[in-house]
């Protein structure tokens, strides 16, 4: 422990010396520092030239090491053309009305005709429906469509002239789909009603499914022909649709992406309100009721420094080629909140200094004291965020890099550029106090109407200031803890008040690791020792009385402003809160409430489940697409995801002819899998081929209903693919040289996706089914949704791993800075309780565990540790009983912690009104995180420390050196 204390002492003293020197340098050359920092920010911002945004959901929200990606590579190699679907869903305007009437069918035909007769233009090229529709096969240019309109060949005249449409529908062979099979009425009709014989007599919904090209130039980019055409379908069949008898809905993949992007863009514009709230709160906190000490305008310098930090970090990372993404959209708001926190700490320590001291001394001491505090916050955040890079999830990886570098760059500019602005304002402050300068002290530099008559004061202080007469807002113990704390009745020391550890005269004994203990001048603790004061401010020597108060701006309240008076945040946390939380009955109440909260959190953790339905989650609530989704759920079994079984080259290299039993079993067993729907049924090319053979001219040559040999099998297969089997040509890959089968596909659809757990079971079940059915054909089951579903397993492992690593890293940093194992463990316990609380709250908020929520869970480690670590360090450096030290910790740092929580909350508050899932989720989880962090940091932690907190540094040092230094606080 002594070695750890030596290391911590060396780190603390090193940081103090570094920041003191930095502050003095900035005070001497503020304009030079501003010029350099602006130049650096502009140089880094050049990287915005390469700024790009990654929008591919599959890449962002799916771990790239998921097993499905190997299968996807195979599928893309052999079946490069996939399809997207557009569904035209038609309901009667009368709820539950029958749509199997000629009038309704004609209206549905009108919608279909509108959808298929459009012409769009993109990239200077015009495209008709035939150019973007997915054709049946290379041998057949017929567009793939599933529709009840096939019974009348999509012809208005044929439909109008049909004397009995129900009779036509009930003739099974009256219409064939693009695969040459009878149209499945359960797939194109919803809410079907049948009579006793099974004949269709009515239906509530009509569905036409149009399949569009996907792949190569027909990708999911906003300007691809497929996406543009789908958007046109939405315009003419939904936005511009008008009918007295038929309500029209459109469900299409392109619309999901479009609506998601539009919602994000709308939300980002709204979220600028967060900046306004932060600015207003910053102005309120920096307000001083004195023209001389006013710091409201300094907020401008703070936001300029924060802006430079954000621009520098984002520009630099963009220059390195790191892509931005939708999740990163929330970062600017969080970084502004973090930066403003640093501003409050620096300004607070600036006002702790003697106003008569030279600016160089005031700024040096302010940074010496604030620097260590904000460094702790910065390092824990950077480390916790950086741990997120240990992931295969692209969204989390990119977010973590942008967050960690962003926090670091904002911190650097906040300890360089902002103090430079503060140094310039310090000159204005001094002029205003002394009434010097023609402009009344309003300018930060001499101008045509203002000379600089206070150069002497700038260099040596004013009103006879000396180090011996220096007055701090707080008094502090002397070197090595050998001096007694002055009390109300004790006379002042001959040389003024004892120096704090940040003063220019170091009093800590580096060789022994002794540290000065910072003791605040504050009201007494709310305990049985209410008559005792912590410590009174020692007056300046009688020979040189100084008064740095000024007249107030407003006419109400006090007429004199003292810069050393407490702000409202300090009063709330240091005076009012301890009267409740640190009273005996308050402690019992706090512990009981924590047990109740923890119980609810643990229960919630057991109820949280995995789910990431991109279509449902990324389309805003109340959006028109949800109406189409509801129609699908009601009439067609919900979201049926396309999947397929893929056979590959046999293990022994023989021809497929020898594995016909496995081919037959594959279609049958895949169709009977509990996660595969029978509407529409599995498309087995082998079954269709066998049916053709048994009804062809070759039927007499078959052996047991099959081709007699390998040559016949392959030769007749080619003939079938050229004729009746054209629709299956896209499901069979042949070797151009040998004519043998290389790979085949058995398309199918899953049942309605329930949640993430269901999806994982679906993946496992279908894989097991196809492997067991055709083990010698290297069969795989794959659907493009499998990349998401298969990733759920990786997301869970990745999140748990990242949280553990982040917690361990933060614990080590906290241990180094606090130099106390028990203290580090208690802080770690607070972090764990916060993370458990956030995870458990997801159940009550209706959130699921997925790629978005896992990001917040990882970030929670770095954010929550700040609140507890600061309070614990203040507890360790204080002296007295545990009860008194718990109160002193709140006095010393509680106000800053409170302001930090408020600014972080204000940064995310506008997200409460957002539409998009990402922003609403971040707001809900961050709101809970901030509430829990404040609760555990400034309420529960002091209570626990008052009962069994670690010994103060002075007590530890005294024990190690065999001394018994008494800390006496006299009434």
Co-location of 757 and 823 in the same domain: no
Instruction: Give the per-residue pLDDT at 482.
Output: 32
pLDDT digits (tens, 9 = 90+) for 913-970: 887 788 888 889 989 999 999 999 889 999 999 888 887 766 655 555 554 443 333 3
Instruction: Report CA-CA distances (Å) from 824 to 355, 810, 817, 860.
Output: 37, 9, 9, 17
Number of domains comprising the chain: 4
Domain membership of residue 325 (yes or no) is yes
Report the CATH number at residue 842: 1.20.1640.10
C-beta of residue 956 within 8 angstroms of C-beta of residue 515: no
Residue-wise pLDDT for 646-680, tens only, equals 999 998 888 999 999 999 999 999 999 999 988 78
At 776-795, the pLDDT tens digits run: 999 999 987 887 777 777 77
pLDDT at 803: 84
pLDDT of residue 502: 33
Q: What is the CA radius of gyration of the chain?
A: 37
List all residues 6 or more positions away from 455 whose beta carbon is below 8 Å from its beta carbon: none
Among 378, 405, 433, the domain-final residue is: 433
Q: Is residue 813 part of a domain?
A: no
Residues 6 or more apart whose CB falls under 8 angstroms from that of 713 comprise 655, 656, 657, 660, 706, 707
Within a domain: 300? yes
What is d(CA 821, CA 818) in angstroms, rounded to the nearest whole number?
Answer: 8
Residue 2, pLDDT score: 67
For residue 745, the enclosing domain spans 642-782
Do 37 and 98 belong to one domain?
A: no
Report which DSSP code applies to 176: B
- Over residues 512-528, mean pLDDT: 33
Q: For residues 884 and 758, state if they share a domain.
A: no
Domain match, 659 and 758 both = yes
Instruction: Give the pLDDT of residue 139.
Output: 66
3-state DSSP of 618-678: CCCCCCHHHHHHHHHHHHCCCCEEEEEEEECCCCCCCCHHHHHHHHHHHHHHHHCCCCECC
Residues 6+ apart with CB under 8 A from 699: 693
318 inside domain: yes
Domain boundary among the residues 401, 433, 465 is at 433
CA distances from 833 to 74, 352, 381 (A): 45, 34, 18
**What is the pLDDT, as a whole number, of residue 124?**
84
CB burial of 819-837 (b: ≥16 within 10 Å; e: otherwise) equals bbeebbebbbebbebbbbb
Kindly state whether residues 654 and 595 are assigned to the same domain: no
- Are residues 754 and 861 both part of a single domain? no
- When comparing pLDDT for 590 and 792, which is higher? 590
Question: Residues 107, 24: one domain?
Answer: no
Rounded CA separation 504/365 (Å): 8
Backbone angles phi and psi of 136, in degrees to 5: -65, -45
| Residue 625: inside a domain | no
**Averaged pLDDT for residues 823-834:** 89
CB contact set of 757 (below 8 Å; sequence gap of 6+) = 609, 610, 611
Residues 401 and 329 in one domain: yes
Domain boundary among 782, 798, 831: 782
d(CA 365, CA 500): 10
- Please check whether residues 117 and 226 belong to one and the same domain: yes
pTM of the model: 0.71
Instruction: Tell me how far apart the alpha carbons of residues 888 and 879 are, in angstroms, rounded to a whole number.
Output: 9
Q: Is 50 exceeded by the pLDDT of residue 479?
A: no
In a domain, 969, yes or no: no
Greatest mean pLDDT among 93-97, 707-711, 953-957 = 707-711
For the residues 885-893, what does the mean pLDDT come to? 82
Instruction: Extract the tokens encoding 770.
Output: 């196809």
Q: Are residues 201 and 310 in the same domain?
A: no
346 belongs to a structural domain: yes
Same domain, 863 and 936: yes
DSSP 245: S
Under 8 Å between Cβ of 377 and 865: no
Same domain flag for 178 and 140: yes
Q: Kind and range of the H or E element at 473? A: none
How many other CB atoms are found less than 10 A from the CB of residue 320?
Answer: 11
pLDDT of residue 709: 92
Residue partners of 835: CB distance under 8 A and separation at least 6: 803, 807, 857, 860, 861, 864
Quick check: is 510 in a domain? no
Q: Are 795 and 850 in contact (CB under 8 A)?
A: yes
Res. 590 pLDDT band, cuts 50 70 90: very high
More confident of the two residues 44 and 212 = 44
pLDDT (0 to 100) of residue 912 = 83
């Amino acid at each position: 422990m002594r070695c750890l204390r030596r290391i911590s002492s060396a780190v603390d003293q090193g940081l103090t010396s570094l920041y003191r020197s930095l502050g003095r340098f900035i005070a001497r050359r503020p304009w030079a520092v501003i010029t350099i920092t602006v130049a650096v920010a502009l140089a880094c911002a050049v990287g915005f030239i390469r700024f790009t945004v990654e929008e591919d959901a599959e890449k962002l929200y799916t771990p790239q090491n998921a097993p499905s990606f190997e299968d996807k590579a195979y599928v893309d190699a052999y079946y490069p053309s996939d399809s997207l679907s557009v569904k035209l869903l038609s309901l009667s305007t009368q709820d539950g009305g029958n749509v199997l009437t000629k009038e309704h069918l004609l209206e549905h035909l009108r919608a279909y005709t509108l959808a298929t007769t459009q012409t769009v233009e993109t990239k200077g090229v015009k495209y008709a429906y035939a150019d973007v529709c997915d054709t049946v096969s290379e041998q057949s240019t017929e567009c793939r469509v599933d529709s009840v309109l096939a019974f009348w060949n999509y012809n208005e005249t044929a439909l109008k002239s049909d004397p009995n449409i129900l009779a036509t529908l009930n003739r099974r062979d009256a219409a064939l789909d693009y695969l040459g099979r009878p149209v499945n009425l359960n797939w194109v009709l919803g809410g079907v009603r049948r009579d006793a014989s099974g004949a269709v007599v009515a239906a509530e919904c009509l569905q036409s499914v149009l399949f569009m090209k996907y792949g190569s130039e027909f990708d999911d980019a906003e300007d691809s022909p497929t996406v543009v055409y789908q958007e046109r379908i939405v315009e003419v069949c939904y936005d511009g649709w008008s009918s007295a008898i038929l309500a029209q809905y459109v469900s299409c993949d392109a619309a999901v992406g479009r609506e998601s992007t539009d919602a994000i863009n709308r939300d980002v514009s709204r979220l600028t309100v967060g900046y306004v709230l932060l600015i207003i709160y910053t102005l309120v906190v920096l307000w001083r009721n004195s023209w001389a000490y006013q710091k409201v305008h300094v907020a401008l310098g703070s936001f300029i420094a924060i802006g430079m930090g954000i621009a520098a970090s984002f520009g630099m990372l963009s220059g390195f080629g790191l892509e931005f993404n939708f999740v990163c959209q929330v970062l600017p708001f969080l970084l502004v909140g973090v930066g403003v926190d640093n501003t409050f700490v620096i300004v607070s320590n600036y006002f702790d200094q003697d106003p008569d001291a030279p600016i160089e001394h005031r700024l040096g001491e302010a940074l010496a004291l604030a620097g260590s505090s904000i460094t702790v916050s910065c390092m824990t955040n950077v480390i916790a965020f950086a741990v997120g890079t240990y992931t295969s999830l692209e969204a989390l990886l990119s977010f973590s890099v942008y967050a960690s570098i962003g926090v670091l760059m904002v911190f650097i500019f906040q300890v360089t550029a902002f103090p430079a602005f503060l140094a310039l304002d310090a000159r204005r402050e001094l002029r205003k106090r002394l009434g010097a300068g023609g402009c009344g002290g309003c300018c930060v530099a001499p101008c045509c109407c203002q000379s600089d008559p206070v150069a002497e004061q700038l260099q040596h202080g004013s009103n006879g200031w000396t180090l011996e007469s220096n007055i701090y807002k707080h008094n502090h113990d002397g070197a090595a803890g050998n001096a007694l704390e002055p009390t109300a009745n004790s006379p002042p020391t001959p040389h003024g008040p004892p120096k704090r550890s940040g003063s220019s005269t170091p009093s800590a004994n580096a060789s022994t690791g002794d540290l000065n203990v910072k003791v605040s001048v504050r009201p007494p603790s709310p305990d049985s020792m209410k008559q005792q004061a912590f410590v009174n401010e020692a007056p300046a020597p009688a020979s040189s009385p100084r008064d740095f108060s000024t007249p107030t701006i407003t006419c109400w309240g006090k007429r004199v402003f003292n810069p050393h008076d407490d702000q409202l945040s300090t009063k709330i946390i240091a005076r009012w809160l301890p009267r409740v939380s640190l009273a005996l009955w308050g402690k019992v109440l706090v512990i009981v409430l924590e047990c109740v909260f923890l119980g609810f959190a643990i229960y919630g953790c057991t109820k949280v489940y995995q789910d990431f339905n991109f279509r449902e989650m990324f389309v805003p609530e109340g959006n028109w697409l949800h109406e189409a989704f509801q129609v699908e759920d009601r009439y067609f079994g919900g979201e049926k995801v396309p999947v397929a079984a893929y056979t590959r080259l046999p293990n022994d290299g023989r021809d497929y002819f020898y594995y016909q039993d496995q081919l037959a079993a594959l279609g049958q067993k895949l169709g009977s899998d509990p996660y595969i729907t029978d509407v529409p049924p599995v498309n087995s090319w082998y079954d269709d081929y066998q049916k053709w053979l048994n009804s062809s001219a070759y039927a007499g040559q078959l052996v047991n209903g099959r081709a007699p040999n390998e040559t016949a099998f392959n030769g007749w297969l080619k003939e079938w693919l050229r004729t009746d089997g054209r629709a299956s040509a896209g499901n069979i890959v042949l070797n151009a040289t040998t004519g043998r089968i290389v790979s085949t596909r058995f398309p199918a659809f899953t049942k309605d996706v329930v949640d993430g757990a269901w999806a994982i079971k679906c993946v496992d079940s279908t894989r097991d089914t196809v492997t067991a059915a055709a083990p010698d054909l290297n069969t795989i089951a794959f659907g493009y949704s499998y990349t998401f579903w298969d990733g759920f397993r990786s997301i869970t492992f990745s999140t748990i791993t990242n949280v553990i690593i982040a917690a361990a890293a933060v614990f080590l940093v906290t241990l180094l800075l606090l130099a106390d194992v028990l203290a580090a463990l208690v802080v770690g316990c607070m972090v764990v309780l916060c993370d458990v609380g956030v995870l458990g709250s997801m159940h009550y908020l209706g959130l699921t565990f997925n790629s978005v929520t896992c990001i917040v869970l990882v970030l929670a480690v770095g954010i929550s540790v700040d609140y507890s670590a600061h309070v614990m360090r203040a507890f360790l450096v204080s002296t007295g009983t545990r009860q008194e030290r718990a109160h002193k910790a709140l006095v010393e740092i509680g106000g800053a912690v409170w302001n930090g929580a408020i600014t972080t909350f204000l940064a995310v508050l506008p997200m409460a009104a957002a539409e998009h899932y990402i922003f609403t989720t971040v707001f809900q989880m961050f709101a809970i995180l901030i509430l829990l962090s404040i609760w555990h940091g400034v309420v529960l932690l002091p209570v626990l420390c008052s009962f069994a907190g670690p010994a103060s540094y002075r007590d530890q040092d005294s024990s190690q050196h065999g001394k018994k230094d008494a800390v006496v606080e006299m009434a």
